[in-house]
Amino acid sequence: MLAIKSRKKPSKDEVAPHAAGSDPNDPQPSSSSSSEGERTALLSAEPPPRRSHRGHRSRPPRHRHHRGGGAGAGAGAGAGTDSDSAESSQSPSPPPAAAGRARAPSYGAVGLTSAARPVAPAGGPRGASSSNWVNELADATGYRRCTPLMVLFVLCSVCTVGILPLVCWWFPAVFVRLTSIRCELSEATTLLVWGVDGEKIPKIAHVRVVPKSSEDSSEAQPLRLAIFRCFRYLFNFETDKFERVEYNVNFPFSTVHRNLPVITRTSVDIYQNTHIYGPCQIEIPMKSIPRLFVDEMLHPFFVFQMFSCVLWFFEEYYLYSMFILVASLSSAFANMYQIRVNMNKFVRMVTCNFSVTKLTSKKLMDTASGVITNDYHFQEETVDSSAILPGDLISLSEDTPVLPCDLLLLSGYAIMNEGSLTGESTPVLKSPLPIFDEAENYNPDSMSKYTIYGGTTLLCAKRVKEFAIGLVIRTGYSTSKGLLMQSILHPPPTRFTFQTDSLKYIGILFLISLGGFIYSFYLYFIHGADASTIIIRGLDLVTIIVPPALPLALTIGTLNALSRLTKEHIFCTSPKRVNEAGKVQLMTFDKTGTLTEDGLEVVGVIPSLPLDGDYTDYLSPTGTPPHMGQPVTDTSLLSPGMTATLTCCHSLGLLGKQLIGDPLDVKMVQFIGWKMSEVFDGDGHTRGMTTVLHPQEGKSHLFSSLSVLKRFEFSPTLQRQVVVARGTHPEHTSTQLLVVAKGAPEVVLRLCQRKTVPDDFEQTLAQYASQGYRLIACASKCLREDQFTMKMARELVENDLEFQGLLVLNNPLKPESAPTIRKLACSRIRSVMATGDNLQTAVCVAQLCGILRKDIPIFLGEVRGGDVVWAPLESGPASLNPLTLLPSDGTQLFQLAMTGDAFQFYLQQKGPLLDKILVRGQVFARMKPDMKKELVECFEDIGYFTGMCGDGTNDCGALKAARVGLSLSESEASIAAPFTCTVPNIKPVLTLLSEGRCALCTAFGLFKFIAGYALLQFSDVVLLYYFYCNLSDMDFLYQDLCLTIVLSFGMSKTIACKKLSQRRPTSNLVSASVLTSLLGVIAIQVGLMAGCFLLAQEQNWWIAPIVPEGATYLNTYPTAVVSLFSSLEFPTMALVWSLGWPFMMPPIYNLYLIGGLVFCVALNLFLLFQNFDWLCSLFDLPYGDIPSSLSALLSSLGSSLINTGENPPPIPTTFRYIMVAIAAAGFFITILYELTVRNWIPALFGNTRRYNPRRFKKYQLVEQEIYNRPGKKIPDLHCNLS
């Protein structure tokens, strides 16, 4: 709608003709046709100014214009003259067009607005700088490929034997810096994007240069596009930045109607738009099979495993290395298969290619006068849905039920099922965009009444004049469904420290292995070993201390928890969040549909007028002043004003004979009993369809019918709805214009005349709200015919209303809510309510379910006169000091409940008062969706590990912001939350938290077991290196695979404790309890092994090993004692680190673990006491002589004893019993130590440490300030319910 600066700055002579709205390629309208001049301005819009040559930036305009002024915002850039800015400020109409439309094609449907940034008026792509979206490429740096650096990189890759390319594969930013030079963004081929999701490592985005169309004769440079994290960015040569592509329709309604339906495009326009916006489909990036294979093969851990296998081949560990190689490849192929299957399912879910009817519109010309009329002529064309572009007009039809894009409805009506996005199965009526301007410009997000969202289902299209027309405004990932898919493909990073701490542990283990490498180098060097033996033995220690079973152990516990959650109908889209569920300290709950039932029941109407009054006027009775009566259910007793409000003030539609729309409105119309019908009239742009309501037959009323003329839709921001209707008196004698309104009582009250509000209104409102009823205020007034026009602003209608009464609805509490909240409180998990309902109603529901304690004072906060006023729920001597938010009587136990406006008031201050609000606030009412998200983020900021449970409709933002979000919905939008549940109550929260605690403890236990077994095996090998010995191939295979895998699998099957404990498991791997447990148990096991070894050396049968020249290792008593005894210690470590009460059930309930322990202990004892020569030779144990027939077989299996030719006698049976006794003693010592560490040591250290504020979270410091007890743990008043 607005012209932009042309690529070639026009001269003043060129501007003048087009300023009048003329164009040589269009029919010439009359001089008085201002709307045609606006249309010409649209058609002549062009892309932003581009650089004519490298390194030269176009001169910026003198005046930079903004969108804030509606359609005129951003105007004036088209001609590039100073006079344009004044012209745009005087009128919301578009300014004159820039020159050169025929030669210079536009960027979008109508081009870009400003020379300063690519922000398009109605139809052009615009950047994120002008929208609410974050421009992730704002901090990008440009690089372009350098051939000399590329050649140097190839040479270095050869010199490093492929190590440099491998590092660059893991860190692509390193490759960009090594092979490219930094340059301006206008010349870049690759972008390094910094600060994405707060990460320090930059991301990569590639720039694609779109070649000019063969029909484009302009001197402009080609388009430069970048696709980053599914979103498309277009380079703006004026701002020298990449900016998010968005189709701009943020303009007054009349401007949209006058200009958008008559857009025409050249072939160059279509060519450019196709590349700018891309296809109208959600393209899931599918990696090919070879690429998946390369990704798996070059994973750091897989590379380490391959390196280990090669090393073991050199050590003649053929059997072990082959097994690890086969297992690693099998795991890689299984991961590839699973990734491919999941991506295919994802693609099938978002793919929706079909044929749609595209419309091409043009205004008709009166052949007699040559004047263009306001009538349109549409030409139909059937195209594939993927070929749709923003700015296209499509005809809505039931033949294409699932919409592939976001649409602005221009003509006709549509009944949509938005359950796939919102979870609400109730059909929604979509109305055409009014032609008359309202207070705000069109916004597709806030004005959902006129917006049809992609991915929703079209149930019925009600056509006006042949067509129901929709304007395409968003395609691909810019649609509502696309944004949902993008959030799934690129979820925010988890802030859980377990993964990072585990990597730190691996780094520490690697440093320990370097010490072992130096130690082995020294030992083998003084023994005179060759260089290859020294290097292989040192590297062997590195492969030992990082075990191959570590990745499996870190995930197997989570996978089993997911399996158990699935059986409870809880599904997870982010497995990493399972462990985070174990640390939740605070749960935020939505009210309606979550704590309470979905359905509403009309209890009655509380009128404000006397029922026996004499209605001489339409609204006001004579005589007695208004007062609040008792609830009535007989609608014949209601005043005409109340009846009209309940009848007309809604946005319902008809699907056949069924009322569709908001459930509250449906219940309200069903209660009043009037019948609704729809009458089509007008031209599809003025009104198109009129809703008419008639009273039931046989019942008399002041009006025989009520027709809805204009709706001011309900807005969560305004919290009210206003409708203008025309009442027809019986026998059509006369008509009366009415204004009816309904909404939140405190909001509607401000719109009413004070004399019409009963004195006992506040008392009545508090009385019924405290009982948990939902209250809707109703008001109305008469309007003269000369006071109303269809262009009338909302502010001129909703004033001087006369209060009619309250509609009372009941929203009962779900039976599972109160017991679940009580169990959470008993486990010291705080519960908070965030709802959009009335404060008094929310407080009542919170008391019923246990979120608010009735024995502790409650203070209510509301904004009045620009400040927050606090009042006690029940009258008493105490009041709340607004400066300190502390009770005046000095009590330290109190609770806060407030409205969303009050929360926003303190949020803007961001001070200590906000912290107290977050610590003591239990109920947050009248909360909008974005407020809920901000509330969750604030809880996280002060240290709470926050969870969120909602119905998935208005809570998606909060569900994604929370550490653990549980959506009680089956809609597609709910999959953006980490967890979804098909059980329609909050009881699954208990299951999720208990399984999360169990999974977290299991992950810690498995990590300690794997790390402990690696340290124990490392100690064994270091000890054997002293005697120039080593474990055999079968020893490694037996311990690493047989014992470790069996025991790890059993540990992962630990069952969660059903009852939540007041304690929470630790999430810090470097905490005192974890370190003392891991290091203490390992020290005990290594000490016992060393003691057993020293005891064996004192025996008379001990034969000291003799190192022969050229031998790689010896199979003597040191090897036998160390391997057999260390194998006995593995079950001990597995059982000790499976003790997780009160988060996990005792090991006796884990049959898999018990079976694994029995199997491993029996197998260890069998190997210890058996005397089979062939088995001893296979494990390189002392056995005596061996039959020659087995010599060749055992040699092929890797038995090194055949190579030495030594056959020491077996270990005496007596000493074998001593080894079992020592291992048994070690078992009891380890159990006693672990229990001591769990219970006594943390308490001892906790009481002896000095006060340090850094030890406490911010919310704990606030509680200490309230109680005036710094450094002391304060009992949580919200978690002491019994």
**Span 1040-1051, pLDDT tens digits:** 888 988 999 999
More confident call, 1029 vs 1168? 1168
Stretch 1094-1102: mean pLDDT: 89
1140 has pLDDT over 60: yes
- pLDDT given at position 19: 31
Classify residue 744 by its DSSP letter.
Answer: -
- Residues 6 or more apart from 1149 whose CB is under 8 A from it? 1055
Judge contact between 416 and 458, C-beta under 8 A.
yes
306 has pLDDT over 60: yes
Beta bridge partners of 775: 808
Q: What is the pLDDT of residues 703-736, one digit of tens each?
A: 888 999 888 887 766 788 999 999 988 776 778 8
Most confident of the following: 481-485, 599-603, 848-852, 1241-1245 = 848-852
How far, in Å, are 666, 783, 1138 from residue 645 at the CA level?
13, 14, 65
- pLDDT given at position 33: 35
Q: Where are the beta strands (DSSP E) in 839-955?
A: 858-864, 867-872, 880-881, 886-887, 895-899, 921-925, 946-950
Q: Using a pLDDT cut of 70, give the percent of the chain over it.
A: 78
Classify residue 1277 by its DSSP letter.
Answer: G
- Residues 6 or more apart from 765 whose CB is under 8 A from it? 745, 775, 806, 840
Q: Using a pLDDT cut of 90, give the percent of the chain over it.
A: 23
More confident call, 423 vs 442? 442
Stretch 385-407: mean pLDDT: 85
Stretch 651-671: mean pLDDT: 84
Beta bridge partners of 1271: none
1152 has pLDDT over 90: yes
More confident call, 20 vs 1142? 1142
Classify residue 90 by its DSSP letter.
Answer: H
More confident call, 350 vs 818? 818
More confident call, 36 vs 1059? 1059
Classify residue 195 by its DSSP letter.
Answer: -
Cα separation, 810 vs 56, in Å, equals 68
- pLDDT given at position 337: 85
How large is the C-alpha radius of gyration of the chain? 38
More confident call, 702 vs 1087? 1087
- pLDDT given at position 188: 92
Q: How confident is the model at residue 1156 (pLDDT cuts 50, 70, 90)?
A: very high
Burial class (CB in 10 A: 0-12, 13-18, 19+), 563: exposed
Judge contact between 1183 and 1146, C-beta under 8 A.
no
Q: Could you tell me whether strands 231-236 and 241-244 are parallel, antiparallel, or unpaired per DSSP bridges?
A: antiparallel
3-state secondary structure of 317: coil
How far, in Å, are 162, 178, 200 from residue 169 at the CA level?
11, 12, 18
1253 has pLDDT over 70: no
**Strand order, beta sheet including 413-417:** 428-430, 413-417, 457-462
Cα separation, 297 vs 299, in Å, equals 6
- pLDDT given at position 1162: 95
Judge contact between 946 and 939, C-beta under 8 A.
yes
- pLDDT given at position 9: 35
Q: What is the pLDDT of residues 90-128, one digit of tens each?
A: 333 333 333 333 333 333 333 333 222 333 333 444 433
Q: How confident is the model at residue 1243 (pLDDT cuts 50, 70, 90)?
A: low
- pLDDT given at position 15: 35
Classify residue 26 by its DSSP letter.
Answer: S
Q: What are phi and psi of 1140, to 5 degrees?
A: -135, 20
pTM given for the model: 0.74
Judge contact between 78 and 95, C-beta under 8 A.
yes
Q: Could you tell me whether strands 428-430 and 413-417 are parallel, antiparallel, or unpaired per DSSP bridges?
A: antiparallel
The angle that helices 663-672 and 640-648 make with each other, rounded to 10 degrees, is 140
- pLDDT given at position 628: 82
Q: Could you tell me whether strands 880-881 and 802-810 are parallel, antiparallel, or unpaired per DSSP bridges?
A: unpaired
Q: What are phi and psi of 86, to 5 degrees?
A: -65, -35
The most distant pair of C-alpha atoms in the chain lies apart, rounded to whole Å, by 126
Closest CA to 496 of 1055, 990, 1000: 1000
Q: What is the pLDDT of residues 503-541, one digit of tens each?
A: 777 778 888 888 888 888 888 888 777 888 888 888 888
Stretch 1178-1193: mean pLDDT: 59
- pLDDT given at position 1252: 57
- Active-site residue set: 590
Cα separation, 851 vs 818, in Å, equals 9
More confident call, 1160 vs 378? 1160
Q: What is the pLDDT of residues 342-361, one digit of tens each?
A: 788 778 877 777 888 888 76
Provide the mean pLDDT of the chain.
Answer: 77
- pLDDT given at position 639: 86
Q: What is the pLDDT of residues 738-761, one digit of tens each?
A: 999 999 888 899 899 888 888 888
Cα separation, 94 vs 7, in Å, equals 20
- pLDDT given at position 124: 44
Most confident of the following: 502-516, 1050-1064, 1245-1259 = 1050-1064
- pLDDT given at position 610: 57
- pLDDT given at position 859: 92
Most confident of the following: 104-108, 155-159, 328-332, 380-384 = 155-159
